[in-house]
Amino acid sequence: MPARTPRRSGPEDPGQPDDVRRPGPAGSRGVAFPARLWRALEQHPAPGARAVQRAWRSPLRGPWLTSVFGVVLLVSLPVVIITGLLDYAAYGPQFGQAFPHDVGWLRLPPFDWPTRPSWLFRLTQGLHVGLGIVLIPVVLAKLWSVVPKLFDWPPARSVAQVLERLSLLLLVGGILFQIVTGLLNIQYSYLFGFDFYTAHYFGAWVFTVALVSHVALKLPRMVTALRSRPARDVLHTSRAATRPEPADPDGLVPALPEQATLSRRGAVALVGGGSLLLAVLTVGQTLDGPLRRAALLLPRGRNPGTGPNGFQINRSAAAAGIRPADTGPDWQLTLTGAGSTVQLDRVALLAMGQHTARLPIACVEGWSTLQTWTGVRLRDLAVLAGVTDPASAHVQSLESAGLFRQATLQSNQVLDPDSLLALRVNGVDLSVDHGYPARVIVPALPGVHCTKWVARIEFRSRGDE
Amino acid sequence: MSEVVARLRTGYGAGLRHALLMILCLAVAGWVALRLADEATAGPMLLWFVGAVVSHDLILFPGYATVDRALRRAARGGGREVGPARSSLLNHVRIPALAAGILFLVFLPGILGLSEDTYRAATGQDRFPYVARWLAISGGLFLISATVWVIRLARWRQRSGQPVASGPG
């Protein structure tokens, strides 16, 4: 392969696997152990391997473009990863209600999820899903820019390169797996047939550790490549003046490039435009009012009906198996705590001190909506049950099946002055789909833990634990 | 120490930092694999993980690269336009096509209506597949792109002194 062999070597970098195409320290071509294997591999290319190596044409491929996409992902992917881990923490893993349960060391240190700011979960989950979608064009562009490496021959020249290829399989498989499972989940399409939480959580860790390794190995190359071509120059280079980068040690620059059909600034703008398009079509699911309709292709892009109860539902009463008789005048709320049991009907609850709070309800699927809720403070109900210093509260729904028919609230979530057993929303009674006769609403709590059709609340004092 | 590092370099093919990072990466992935091996759905998970890479590298990428190569070839041959107009026409087809493609991939379940029952349970609403919306958005993008190209073509011709009316428009 004469066109590729005489590559200029990059700056010496101790993190990179030695490239045997480069002269070794002694001036000779070094081959790692077992040398015979790597030589044989090099001398016996797979059918078509050489042809594929010569087939790359884009003059834009090269370390600079790869590094631009790389630096965007380097800055933004940690946000997606951290918000994802925070969402796990928001589910209350200390009560065994975050999925998957058994995660060993692969989690954030335990802490009580705060109730302030009330839009915290709306923000973290909105960012996780929204940014995850917006980054898809960047991920695909990054993969496009490095795809010649996949077809490189020989595939490895040392054990180090074999392992690195394996870690890249985890990296690429990880990001694609996360994107695919995430996209299917927010669109209610469970084609994959396995538990989404388990797959997405552990997939994230495989991806994260592969990303950390990749960044640790490639960061110096990224910095060098970005410095090689000032952004100002790229901005002022037209398509006609666009030339390939000098040959690089990674072999990203094609041996036989065609004339550019797109400038570098054009390629970056194209990918950015793709992200912008996805952003415009996604952000609507976190907005209220007419702008919600901008999420034209997402399930949460329309409001279910009009009026005070015309906002998003996560689980309809019919789907939860709630019958009209369950929520009729005979409905009673049972409060337990400190050995006593109190029963209240809806009239009695309405006769208690009412509090109104404007709080978001935000779903793990990334959508959210801000509504005005009215009801009884949870801490007042705790006092009624004889618990003045609750350590936690266990809320049960009338729903008899379903993953989220119950939830445990932390002490701060019971005591927050805006934490309510809501009876009304936007000035009217809750609709049955929104949890009539009564539902929980707590600042910054994931929507699925704001239990609907509440039947029972058990307040546990610190001594009980 | 330096002798150990040198031997690592000859035997392993990279330095100590590389080896430690690979051990970390494979250890965590291995732990996850062992943790998930007991799950009844471990097989499908692995299949989707590997399947995602194979689908991208051996289907999606060759697919769009082949389409793009065909478009470039079509743009090279035929037509009277030269220079910027020729390349520009290629991009005015390529860019909306890419946008329509990414929208289709990202919103595929909604566009094809793959989730009606789950959707009804979750939202209390019936839904129709969004294929009409996707077609409308994609059509709109092609239309905008074509309009911009016609305007640019007219400008190039004015600059090069050709009559605008003779264009294929």
Query: For residue B65, what pLDDT is reported?
Result: 95
Residue A209 near chain B (CB below 8 Å) = yes
Nearby residues of A367 by Cβ (< 8 Å), 6 or more positions away: A285, A286, A298, A300, A312
* Interchain proximity B115–A187, CB inside 8 Å: yes
Nearby residues of A286 by Cβ (< 8 Å), 6 or more positions away: A122, A126, A130, A366, A367, A368
Q: Which residues of B touch A258 (CB under 8 A)?
A: 72
Residue B23, CB-side half-sphere exposure with 13 Å CA sphere: 7
- Cβ distance A332 to A345 under 8 Å? yes
Express each pLDDT in A370-412 by its tens digit: 999 999 999 999 999 999 999 999 999 999 988 899 999 999 9
* Interchain proximity A198–B36, CB inside 8 Å: yes
- Cβ distance A31 to A20 under 8 Å? yes
Which among A36, A144, A188, A364 is the top mutation candidate for probing chain B, defined by the most B β-carbons within 10 Å of its own β-carbon? A188
Residue A199 near chain B (CB below 8 Å) = yes
Residues of chain A with pLDDT under 70: 1-30, 463-465
Q: Which residues of B touch A104 (CB under 8 A)?
A: 31, 35
* Interchain proximity A187–B109, CB inside 8 Å: yes
Express each pLDDT in A3-32 by its tens digit: 333 344 434 444 566 554 443 333 334 578
What residues does each domain of chain B span? 1-38, 42-166
Q: Is A218 helix (H, G, I), strand (E, B) or coil?
A: helix
Nearby residues of A431 by Cβ (< 8 Å), 6 or more positions away: A309
How many beta carbons lie within 10 A of that of residue B148, not counting itself? 13
Instruction: List the helix and strand counts (H, then E) for chain B.
Output: 8, 0
- The encoded tokens of residue A152 equal 């490189």
CA–CA min distance A15, chain B (Å): 6
- The encoded tokens of residue B167 equal 């264009």
Nearby residues of A447 by Cβ (< 8 Å), 6 or more positions away: A314, A361, A362, A363, A364, A368
* Interchain proximity B25–A209, CB inside 8 Å: yes
- Cβ distance A79 to A123 under 8 Å? no
Of residues A195, A273, A297, nearest to B107 (C-beta) = A297
Query: For residue A26, what pLDDT is reported?
Result: 35
Query: For residue A428, what pLDDT is reported?
Result: 97
Query: For residue A116, what pLDDT is reported?
Result: 94
- The encoded tokens of residue A311 equal 């906002």
Residues of chain B with pLDDT under 70: 1, 78-87, 162-169
User: Rounded to an integer, what distance in angstroms lies between the CA atom of residue B141 and that of residue B149?
Assistant: 12
Predicted TM-score of the model (pTM): 0.93
User: Rounded to an integer, what distance in angstroms lies between the CA atom of residue A58 and that of residue A148?
Assistant: 11
Q: Is the dihedral of CA A27, A33, A36, A38 positive or negative?
A: negative
* Interchain proximity A217–B120, CB inside 8 Å: no
User: Rounded to an integer, what distance in angstroms lies between the CA atom of residue B117 and that of residue B125?
Assistant: 10
To 10 degrees, what angle do helices A264-282 and A63-90 make? 20
